[in-house]
A = this chain, B = another copy of it.
């Protein structure tokens, strides 16, 4: 039997008609109506399953989107590509329509213009001063909370990878950021505008993308001040998950990894966006560091390629080649091919993080949620990249919660 807390939790998805949000929405509906098992949802299984998480039917979805269209079109795409079943989509039509009606135009960041089907209203909103954008988003969040009588709203960023920008001085402290916003000189990326608005509206923030989000020192300060939990960056869904699960084995066995080449192919919107080198930069940065850290070897030769292969749609396919030296100087190899639906891998992690953020807020925890490191390529709170050690930290957290400590 699913968890029940008596709370009503709002979840505000940025990128609300994207493939991940679509899978979250239809997935939650399927969990509620019994068409789906909670496969992939770690918070429903084993010892974590005993924590007082919000139930699937206690969640109300809303969100922002910059692309035109409706949720059923996104769902149709996912049916054609074997991610959603036609039965689930049919059975969840009413839930989906209700969610769709709660989606509002987001604010489009200038450098991210260029993709098809953009909502002109989003472009108009994105042209406003950043302070105004924040205020408007904050108002949307507050309106969502009050009109649906929600006990809390968690904001989840699942929009596209944004263009890489260098760190600005104004982002260093909350004071400098606020001062810069007043002059409209903050130059925040879109993800950080949303994080700022979330904190001002009293909402925990989850950043599932490689974008900066709440990782700016100024926003980290704001979160602590507002006593709000937040986590990110960049969901660890596929190839990096495997890397950080496998590399500890090489380290434990004292094997010498010489080269680790990784080639990723994907054909969804994320892939299309990443075929733009400036955006790819945000992604690659997060992928490169984990191996060196786990192997304690800055000299290991690694490469992470990301190629846009349209015919694959949502089916991310990655090939990794690990060349390593064993005893006696013998060179050996491991290679693996991972073929998974990017969105179906991401959606349950998003659901886990929603529940974990809500629980953390309920418990009065503030700042970076260090126990969620196993969900991210670049965890905000740092620590090891070793997936198994990260997961143990999550289990330890769960135990502390159960023991009331």
| Interface set of A (CB-CB < 8 Å, partner B) | 23, 26-27, 30, 36-42, 44-46, 79-80, 82-86, 88, 241-242, 245-246, 248-249, 252-256, 258-259, 261, 263, 265, 301, 303, 305, 307, 309-312, 317, 319, 321, 323, 325-341, 344-345, 347-348, 374, 387-389, 391
Q: Is the CB of B328 within 8 A of A344?
A: yes
Question: Cα distance A220–B393 when bound, in Å?
Answer: 36
A328's partner among B26, B46, B303 (CB-CB below 8 A) is B26
Question: A263: which B residues are within 8 A, CB to CB?
Answer: 261, 263, 305, 319
Q: Is the CB of B248 within 8 A of A246?
A: no
Closest chain-B Cβ to A363's Cβ sits at a distance in Å of 23
Question: Cα distance A326–B315 when bound, in Å?
Answer: 13
- Tell me how many chains of this kind the complex includes: 4
Q: Is the CB of B327 within 8 A of A27?
A: yes
Question: A327: which B residues are within 8 A, CB to CB?
Answer: 23, 27, 36, 39-41, 344-345, 347-348
Question: A38: which B residues are within 8 A, CB to CB?
Answer: 254
Q: Is the CB of B265 within 8 A of A253?
A: no
Question: Cα distance A336–B370 when bound, in Å?
Answer: 32
Question: Cα distance A268–B332 when bound, in Å?
Answer: 17
Closest 9 CB pairs of A and B: A258-B311, A40-B327, A336-B336, A332-B340, A388-B388, A245-B249, A327-B348, A330-B344, A252-B391
Question: Cα distance A174–B349 when bound, in Å?
Answer: 54
Q: List 17 A-B contacts (CB under 8 A).
A: A27-B327, A39-B326, A39-B329, A40-B255, A88-B328, A246-B246, A259-B312, A265-B321, A311-B323, A319-B321, A328-B341, A332-B338, A332-B339, A332-B341, A334-B337, A334-B338, A388-B388
Closest chain-B Cβ to A354's Cβ sits at a distance in Å of 14
Q: Is the CB of A86 within 8 A of B83?
A: no
Q: Is the CB of A326 within 8 A of B307?
A: no
Chain B residue nearest to A334 in the complex (CB): B338
Q: Is the CB of A328 within 8 A of B30?
A: yes
Closest chain-B Cβ to A12's Cβ sits at a distance in Å of 21
Q: Is the CB of B242 within 8 A of A328?
A: no
Q: Is the CB of B321 within 8 A of A344?
A: no
Chain B residue nearest to A341 in the complex (CB): B330
Question: A319: which B residues are within 8 A, CB to CB?
Answer: 263, 319, 321, 335
Question: Cα distance A254–B37 when bound, in Å?
Answer: 11
Question: A249: which B residues are within 8 A, CB to CB?
Answer: 241-242, 245, 387-388
